[in-house]
Amino acid sequence: MVEDDPLVCFAMEIALEHHGFEVIAANCASKAMNLLCDSTTTYDVLITDIELGSGHDGWFLARQARELIPDIGVVYVTGNGMPDQPRHGVSQSMALRKPVDEAELVNCISGLLKRAEK
């Protein structure tokens, strides 16, 4: 999960762990890419804020993640609208608006994991 707001990151991390997901968090795209490049860890889903402050944004991060892990699920989260998702987002991704509803996030992740099993 990549989120530059520490409070939002903490809340989402706690919620996901409560539902049984293992979460590894980063606060920027470059740290996330370092984690994704670690061959000792398997990643199934990338949850990324779109606006990540300075450096690369979530659109860029998701494209890079898909190059490294072609079947990784992607969930974009943002406080803004999502009109750019078809143009900038990766295929078969999902998008949620902040504040993110916990049940909706869990449903998105579960759906992406089921899709990957097929």
Residue 41 pLDDT class (50, 70, 90 cuts)? very high
In a domain? residue 118? no
pLDDT at residue number 75? 96
- The CA–CA distances, whole Å, from 44 to 17, 24, 52, 71, 88 equal 15, 11, 21, 8, 21
**What's the chain's average pLDDT?**
92
Rounded CA-CA distance 32/19 in Å is 22
Share of the chain above pLDDT 90, in %: 81
| Residue matched to tokens 């968090």 | 25
Look at the chain and report how many structural domains it folds into: 1
Instruction: Tell me, yes or no, whether 116 lies in a domain.
Output: no
**Residue pLDDT, tens place only, 48-105:** 999 998 899 999 999 999 999 999 999 999 988 766 777 788 998 999 999 999 999 9
What is the residue range of 67's domain? 6-101
Q: Give the pLDDT of residue 83.
A: 62
